[in-house]
């Protein structure tokens, strides 16, 4: 009886060793997309009142965990029974990411001053509704990036047993959420940490200097993350198209992959932005 129990423990230990190895490989493969995920979500999780930063970040984190709970089993089932659907989902997600990235650029370049009635409407807008809208946008973007992470992780263990596939992909998905949003939480609370250091040291000494550095660095980091996050959206979308559409994969072979993926992502985003604007104008004409 005892020997059987220890044999089970040995099997579990061996399984965990295998999962640790495959998780390490899968994490290294997804490192690039995790970096993009961090940049995108750090930019989306900022811009709130200090008192709302952590509650909003927690809401986005919960949404991210729910995303993973939905994505992991579906990805495993589709991989086994309907693999072509994974490519379709990735490509559709790529168009969404491309749209988000290019829409930010278009808004920045062609932003027009708001008219009086628009400003009044913004003042009257319920803050909770605006917050919920930003959370929804962040969770939606996280969903697309999570699909990419899960698919890449799954691709590294396709030849392994189903048990190892499930455990490896689940561990990578969990690490992605905890790691990304843990770092985002540190970033968004930099200024509060800086103010506390200044207050504790009575605005004197090394701690005060460090505190002021943290406070002054946050706006710079946020601006950098905003730019990097926008670029990441376009680059990730372009990578999805290149890796999943054969024609684009063989298009312009002489170009470095990063330039090729950026151009394709940008063009795709422009097309979706143009279609969106055109559709809105047509709808507004019919409403008159």
* Residue-level pLDDT, tens digit, the chain, 288 residues: 455 554 555 556 665 666 676 777 666 656 656 666 676 666 666 666 666 777 888 888 888 889 889 988 988 888 888 878 878 888 888 898 889 889 888 888 887 555 544 444 444 445 567 778 878 888 888 888 788 788 878 777 777 777 888 888 888 888 888 888 888 888 877 878 888 888 888 877 788 888 888 888 877 887 787 787 788 888 888 888 988 888 888 888 888 888 999 999 999 999 999 999 999 888 888 876
- Counting the structural domains of the chain, the total is 1
The pLDDT score that the predictor gives to residue 166 is: 83
Find, among 172, 150, 179, 180, the residue nearest to 19 by Cα.
172
Question: What is the number of alpha carbons within 13 Å of residue 41 lying toward its C-beta?
Answer: 34
Residue 127 near residue 146 (C-beta atoms within 8 A): no
The pLDDT score that the predictor gives to residue 43 is: 66
Tokens 């406070």 belong to 215
Q: Is residue 233 part of a domain?
A: yes
CA distances from residue 191 to 47, 55, 98, 182, 208 in whole angstroms, order as listed = 13, 17, 32, 16, 12
The range of the structural domain enclosing residue 114 comes to: 2-188+219-287
Q: Is residue 234 part of a domain?
A: yes
201 class by beta-carbon count within 10 Å (0-12 exposed, 13-18 middle, 19+ buried): middle
The pLDDT score that the predictor gives to residue 260 is: 92
Q: Is residue 205 part of a domain?
A: no
Q: Is residue 197 part of a domain?
A: no
Q: Is residue 169 part of a domain?
A: yes
How far is it, in rounded angstroms, from Cα 94 to Cα 99? 9
Q: Is residue 195 part of a domain?
A: no
How far is it, in rounded angstroms, from Cα 263 to Cα 235? 8
Q: Is residue 98 part of a domain?
A: yes
The pLDDT score that the predictor gives to residue 198 is: 85
The pLDDT score that the predictor gives to residue 31 is: 61
Indicate the angle between helix axes 205-244 and 190-200, nearest 10 degrees.
170
Residue 77 near residue 208 (C-beta atoms within 8 A): no
Token code pair at residue 210: 């460090």
Q: Is residue 246 part of a domain?
A: yes
- How many CB atoms within 10 Å of residue 127? 10
Find, among 262, 259, 260, 258, the residue nearest to 249 by Cα.
260
pTM to 2 decimal places:
0.70
Find, among 41, 31, 37, 99, the residue nearest to 265 by Cα.
99
How far is it, in rounded angstroms, from Cα 105 to Cα 1? 67
């Amino acid at each position: 009886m005892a020997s059987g129990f220890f044999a089970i423990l040995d099997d579990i230990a061996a399984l965990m060793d295998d999962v640790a190895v495959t998780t390490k490989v899968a994490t290294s493969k997804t490192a690039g997309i995790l970096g993009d995920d961090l940049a995108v979500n750090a930019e989306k999780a900022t811009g709130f009142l200090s008192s709302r930063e952590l509650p909003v970040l927690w809401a986005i984190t919960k949404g991210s965990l729910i995303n993973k709970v939905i994505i992991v089993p579906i990805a495993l089932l589709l991989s086994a029974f309907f693999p072509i659907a994974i490519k379709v989902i990735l490509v559709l997600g790529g168009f969404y990411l491309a749209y988000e990235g290019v829409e930010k650029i278009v808004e920045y370049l062609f932003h027009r001053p708001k008219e009086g009635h628009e400003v009044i409407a913004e003042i009257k807008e319920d803050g909770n509704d605006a917050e919920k809208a930003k959370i929804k946008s962040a969770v939606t973007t996280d969903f697309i990036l999570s699909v990419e992470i899960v698919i890449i992780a799954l691709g590294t263990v396709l030849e392994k047993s189903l048990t190892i596939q499930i455990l490896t992909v689940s561990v990578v998905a969990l690490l992605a959420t905890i790691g990304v949003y843990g770092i985002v939480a540190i970033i968004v609370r930099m200024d509060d940490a800086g103010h506390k250091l200044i207050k504790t040291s009575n605005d004197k000494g090394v701690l005060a200097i460090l505190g002021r550095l943290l406070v002054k660095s946050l706006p710079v980091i946020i601006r950098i993350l905003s730019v990097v996050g926008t670029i990441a959206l376009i680059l990730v979308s372009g990578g999805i198209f290149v890796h999943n559409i054969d024609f684009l994969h063989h298009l312009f072979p002489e170009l470095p992959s990063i330039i090729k993926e950026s151009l394709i992502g940008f063009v795709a985003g422009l097309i979706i932005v143009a279609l969106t604007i055109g559709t809105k104008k047509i709808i507004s004409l019919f409403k008159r």
